[in-house]
Amino acid sequence: MPLSPLEHDRRYGELDQVMRAYAGQTADDTADKPSAALTAYLRHTWHSRPWALAVAERQLREYADHPPGRLRLRLGEFYPIPDVGLPEGEIQQWLYCLADHIKHSVEEGEVPPTATPATHWEWQARFPELGQFLGGWFSQDMPDEFDGHDSAVDDYRASTDPQLTARLVGELHELLALGLDESDYALAVAELGMEVDPPAPYSPGGWLALVADRLGVPRAEYGPQPSDG
């Protein structure tokens, strides 16, 4: 019987987060050094959900202790480890290696310092609402759906809960606070799902600052006005 969503999260939820961190990355962890993917996972999780590290370590180790057979995987009774480019015979030891790195990080208090995201997963994990905004309103279909960038921003604002809009503004300011070069801002918006260029004459960073200013102004609410008499 396939796993229910609740059972999946109970047994493999944080393991799945670790595996997602390896999308497009090399699983080149060694006993002496974690990969860029695991370092990104550790950095983001330490600074956002530190309690989840112990869960990840346990789930990784339990999965390695009891690897599923082909039949149970086919029936959906176990979480299938995605292809990370390693031979099947090396997966078990690799999972133990990840668990050991996470355990060491927690027990020794070794926290990767805050830094610019280094992987696609880390960009998406650190700036989730910005990813929704850029990926949802500024995909390659944007010119067919809206009259321009301003129209797309207005549509986001009109159709999005004000609390989420406020969260987006906070993420925009956080991204701008990184003080990146314009080439790095171009990379950032691409990693976060933007598939069109900013409107002329703005650079990526300049346009993000403009959007933050526009969305940071409280939306006017129109309705019946109280009478004077």
Question: In this predicted model, what pLDDT tens digit does every residue of 51-88 receive, in sequence order?
Answer: 999 999 999 999 999 887 665 556 556 688 899 999 98
- The mean pLDDT of 176-204, rounded to a whole number, is 96
The number of beta carbons lying within 10 Å of the beta carbon of residue 199 is 11
- The mean pLDDT of 36-54, rounded to a whole number, is 97
Q: How far apart (Å, rounded) are the C-alpha atoms in residues 122 and 77?
A: 29
pTM, 2 dp: 0.87
Question: Rounded mean pLDDT of the chain?
Answer: 91
Give the DSSP letter string of 37-56. Answer: HHHHHHHHHHHH-TTHHHHH
pLDDT of amino acid 67:
81
Q: How confident is the model at residue 220 (pLDDT cuts 50, 70, 90)?
A: low
For residue 229, is pLDDT > 50?
A: no
Residue pair 101/29 in contact (Cβ under 8 Å)? The answer is: yes
